């Protein structure tokens, strides 16, 4: 009679114990606040801004202190804070520390598999080139991942603001770097200013090189951006995609093809895509049969974490246990790993049910 006793109402312990995937996480945006402060001290990047200094160049000088900068309400202001973080990750040891801490924080939320996004700068970034960055991530990733029991892969964000030519250069350099645990490419950055179309050849080349693909779309721009990612770039997954809800034909297409959306509700509130959780279309997307996955995007900068996103499913979107498990399964099924690895994670889920 277990199934009668067993209600379908989730609780915190259930959410924590579920072995979860995280498919949409920017490594830089996952930085701990305390680590950002440490690194700012290390490199003497301080508020208030000095004339001609970096804080001013980045237009962060309208803030008196870091607290104020963390209260961004617009995507542009968020990106400025993101660039400040990049600016104080200068040495391989900074990158290793960041990676180790991020994996530790994820594991504490019950994440067992993560795809980490990172952008490779077009030029040397202080004391690191692209290979130094990847080596640092893989060094910490291997060590901490094995110790804590969390598997990771890397997604390279080609950043639309760099333009397709620069992106193609970065992509071609990736082909020469040997095995770096990279599974896919992405275009993040300013979606509203850079539509996907011009990236068609970059994505074609990425597939030829054996990479899987996703694009940020339907976050800062509307359904046409998602259509572009699908038709022009032929992506495997959509980063965000929530604004697909504005086009019923697109919703039917996403359902029929089961194209995964990487939904990040807290991110959408913090960057102003929706003004409240009540307005967020997550529940509508799920009920329509869209294959949604749940992710945290930039938890360090949003002051959130993956577990908090699952709490939103439970407390604010009214998801049952079964519905939450469906979202977790969607994530493992959509991961850029071989079929047998997916089966492994799906079977681990069975054990906690
Ligand atoms: C993004 Cl770094 C980052 N975080 C959240 N949303 C994004 N869209 C494009 N880049
Ligand atoms: Zn993102």
Name the token pair of 176.
């020469």
- Is 189 a pocket residue for ligand 1 (Cβ < 6 Å)? yes
Distance CA 321, CA 339 (A): 25
Crossing angle, helix 223-231 and helix 248-257, to 10 degrees?
A: 40
| Residue 128 banded pLDDT, cuts 50, 70, 90 | very high
Q: Are residues 286 and 152 in the same domain?
A: yes
Q: Does one domain contain both 134 and 161?
A: yes
> How many CB atoms are closer than 10 A to CB 58?
17
Residues 129 and 213 in one domain: yes
- Rounded Cα distance between 159 and 130, Å, is 14
CATH number at residue 101: 3.20.20.140
Tell me the mean pLDDT in the region 101-121: 97
Determine the Cα–Cα distance for residues 330 and 327; give it in Å rounded to an integer. Answer: 5
Residues with CB under 5 A from ligand 2 (ion): 297
Look-up: residue for tokens 């110790």? 147
Ligand 1 pocket, 302 CB below 6 A? no
Over the stretch 274-327, which tens digit does the pLDDT of each residue have? 999 999 999 999 999 999 999 999 999 999 999 999 999 999 999 999 999 999
The pick from 22, 189, 215 for probing ligand 1's pocket by mutation, whose C-beta has the most ligand atoms within 8 angstroms, reads 189
Same domain? 162 vs 67: no
pTM comes to 0.97
User: How far is the CA of 26 from the CAs of 12, 110, 292, 350, in angstroms?
Assistant: 25, 18, 19, 29
Domain end among 42, 72, 88 = 88
Q: Grade residue 352 by pLDDT with cuts at 50, 70 and 90.
A: confident
Q: Residue 28: nearest ligand to its CA?
A: 1
Say whether both 82 and 22 belong to one domain. no
Q: Are 154 and 190 contained in the same domain?
A: yes
- What percentage of the chain exceeds 90 in pLDDT? 94
- Could you list the residue range(s) of the whole structural domain that residue 55 is in? 33-88
Quote the DSSP letter at residue 181: S
pLDDT in tens, 143-196: 999 999 999 999 999 999 999 999 999 999 999 998 999 999 999 999 999 999
Regarding whether 72 and 14 lie in a shared domain, the answer is: no
Chain segment 199-255, per-residue pLDDT in tens: 999 999 999 999 999 999 999 999 999 999 999 999 999 999 999 999 999 999 999
pLDDT band at 7 (very low <50, low <70, confident <90, very high): confident
Q: Give the ligand whose atoms come closest to the C-alpha of residue 298.
A: 1
Residue 191 CA, closest ligand 1 atom number: 9
* Inter-residue contact 168 to 194 (CB < 8 Å): no
Residues 57 and 143 in one domain: no
Continuous segment of H or E residues that includes residue 217 = strand 212-217
Q: Is 186 in the pocket of ligand 1 (CB under 6 A)?
A: no
Domain boundary residue among 68, 88, 108?
A: 88
| Element (DSSP H or E) covering residue 87 | helix 75-87
Whole-number pLDDT of residue 16 = 97
């Amino acid at each position: 009679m277990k199934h009668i006793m067993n209600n379908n109402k989730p609780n915190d312990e259930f959410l924590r114990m579920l072995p979860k995937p995280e498919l949409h996480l920017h490594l830089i945006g996952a930085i701990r606040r305390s680590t950002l402060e440490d690194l700012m001290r290390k490199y003497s990047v301080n508020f208030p801004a000095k004339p001609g200094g970096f804080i001013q160049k980045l237009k962060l000088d309208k803030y008196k202190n870091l607290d104020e900068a963390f209260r961004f309400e617009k995507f542009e202001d968020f990106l400025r804070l993101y660039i400040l973080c990049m600016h104080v990750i200068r040495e391989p040891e900074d990158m290793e520390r960041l990676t180790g801490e991020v994996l530790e924080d994820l594991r504490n939320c019950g994440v067992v598999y993560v795809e980490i996004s990172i952008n490779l700068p077009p030029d040397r970034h202080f004391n690191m080139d692209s290979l130094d960055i990847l080596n640092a991530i893989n060094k910490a990733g291997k060590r901490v991942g094995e110790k804590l029991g969390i598997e990771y892969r890397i997604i390279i964000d080609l950043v639309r603001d760099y333009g397709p030519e620069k992106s193609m250069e970065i992509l071609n350099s990736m082909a020469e770097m040997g095995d770096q645990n990279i599974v896919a490419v992405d275009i993040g950055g300013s979606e509203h200013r850079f539509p996907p179309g011009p990236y068609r050849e970059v994505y074609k080349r990425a597939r030829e090189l054996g990479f899987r693909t996703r694009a940020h779309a339907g976050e800062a721009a509307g359904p046409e951006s998602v259509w572009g990612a699908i038709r022009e770039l032929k992506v495997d997954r959509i980063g965000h995609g929530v604004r697909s809800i504005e086009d019923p034909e697109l919703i039917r297409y996403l359902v029929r093809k089961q194209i995964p959306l990487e939904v990040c509700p807290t991110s959408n509130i913090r960057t102003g895509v929706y003004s409240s959780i009540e307005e967020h279309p997550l529940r509508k997307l799920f009920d329509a049969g869209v294959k949604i996955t749940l992710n945290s995007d930039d938890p360090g900068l949003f002051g959130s974490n993956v577990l908090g996103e699952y709490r939103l499913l439970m407390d604010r979107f009214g998801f049952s246990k079964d519905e939450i498990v469906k979202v977790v399964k969607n994530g493992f099924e959509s991961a850029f790993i071989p079929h047998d690895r997916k089966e492994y994670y799906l079977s681990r889920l069975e054990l906690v049910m």
